[in-house]
């Protein structure tokens, strides 16, 4: 299934995209795409519904973040060997873990705000994993049983805030609108192999990133298991698993985003996003 949330900011409704690409309203069956709705049993019940029997949504409404109620937005750094190389850094012996504020989450096509004082706002297309069932001390073999599905995430980053102002990476990752997710949550049964998905990103029509999850150092199952040793993962939590090469910071000379730039990005089978970058007021 492709589960979506559509409508005005703060008033999104649950829906799904059927096999013909038609947006269907799910609000007669669930309150939102969040919490217990993400549990495997609940997703199985939704999968039994006849999409053609659900009301079609007219027009082209805004798509919101594909999951609501995210408590933790966990990110993995330097998780692609080729991206670590372009950053001039070694592949870490264990995953680099940092947090992105949940207040950064926006819809897949919402504008992204370049924060005050920013000179180094950068792009990163990433595969995101959405937790469906609480995971605590799970093994790698059990890990995917706790995953609801996958989505595209844009880990927008302010590199000066991230690396030049001391402290942790979080403050360069958590600015408002720095976490577009969606367009939809694709349930894991529709993703044959999360470690073999093509991914891409363009700035103003120019391809910057053209990679694959095949070059991921630490795979999805490992990451879910690994993180669950340190914290409980709850339904709706998002794990953003790192980016392939081609970020602005790695270019010679570096290249960063400015107001008016348009970024498009996507992952095979998971849809695409499009954002216009604007200066924050």
Rounded CA-CA distance 192/102 in Å is 28
How big is the chain by its Cα radius of gyration, in Å? 18
Question: Are both 179 and 48 inside the same structural domain?
Answer: no
SS3 of 71, please?
coil
Which tokens in the block code for residue 251? 């270019």
Sign of CA dihedral 139, 140, 143, 144: negative
Per-residue model confidence (pLDDT) at position 128: 98
Count structural domains, the chain: 2
Domain holding 172, by residue range, is 73-279
Residue 92 is predicted with a pLDDT of 85
Alpha carbon distance 153, 129 (integer Å): 9
Asked whether residue 46 falls in the same domain as residue 78, the answer is no
In terms of pTM, does the model score above 0.75? yes
Residue 164 confidence (pLDDT)? 87
What CATH number does residue 214 fall under?
Answer: 3.90.850.10
Is residue 272, in this structure, part of any structural domain at all?
yes
pLDDT at residue 166 in the model: 80
Q: Do residues 219 and 256 both lie within one domain?
A: yes
Do 247 and 148 fall within a single domain? Answer: yes
Spatial separation of the C-alpha atoms in residues 55 and 225, rounded to whole Å: 39
pLDDT value, residue 174? 96
Residues of the chain with pLDDT under 50: none
Residues 29-56: pLDDT tens digits? 999 999 999 999 999 999 999 999 999 9
Q: Say if residue 13 is in the same domain as residue 85.
A: no
- Tokens matching residue 122: 């950068």
Supply the pLDDT for residue 87: 72
């Amino acid at each position: 299934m492709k589960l979506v949330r559509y409508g005005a900011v703060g008033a999104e409704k649950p829906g799904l995209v059927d096999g013909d690409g038609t947006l269907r309203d799910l609000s007669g069956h669930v309150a939102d795409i969040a919490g217990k709705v993400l549990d495997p049993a609940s997703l199985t019940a939704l999968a039994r519904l006849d999409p053609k029997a659900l009301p079609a949504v007219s027009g082209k409404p805004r798509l919101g973040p594909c999951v609501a109620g995210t408590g933790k937005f966990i990110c993995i750094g330097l998780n692609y060997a080729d991206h670590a190389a372009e950053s001039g850094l070694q592949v870490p012996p264990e995953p680099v873990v940092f947090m992105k504020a949940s207040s950064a989450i926006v819809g897949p096509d919402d504008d992204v705000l370049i924060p005050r004082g920013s000179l180094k706002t950068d792009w990163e297309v990433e595969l995101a994993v959405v937790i469906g069932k609480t995971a605590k001390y799970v093994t790698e073999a059990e890990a995917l049983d706790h995953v609801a599905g996958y989505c595209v995430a844009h880990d927008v980053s302010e590199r000066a805030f991230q690396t030049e102002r001391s402290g942790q990476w979080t403050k360069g990752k958590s600015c408002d609108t720095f976490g577009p997710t969606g367009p939809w949550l694709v349930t894991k049964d529709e993703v044959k192999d999360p470690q073999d998905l093509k991914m891409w990103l363009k700035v103003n029509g120019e391809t910057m990133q053209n990679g694959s999850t095949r070059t991921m150092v630490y795979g999805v199952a490992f990451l879910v298991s690994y993180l669950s040793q340190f914290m409980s993962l709850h339904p709706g939590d998002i794990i953003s698993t790192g980016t392939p090469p081609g970020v602005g910071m790695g270019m010679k000379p570096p290249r960063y985003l400015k107001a008016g730039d348009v970024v498009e990005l996507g992952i095979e089978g998971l849809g695409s996003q499009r954002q216009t970058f604007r200066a924050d007021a």
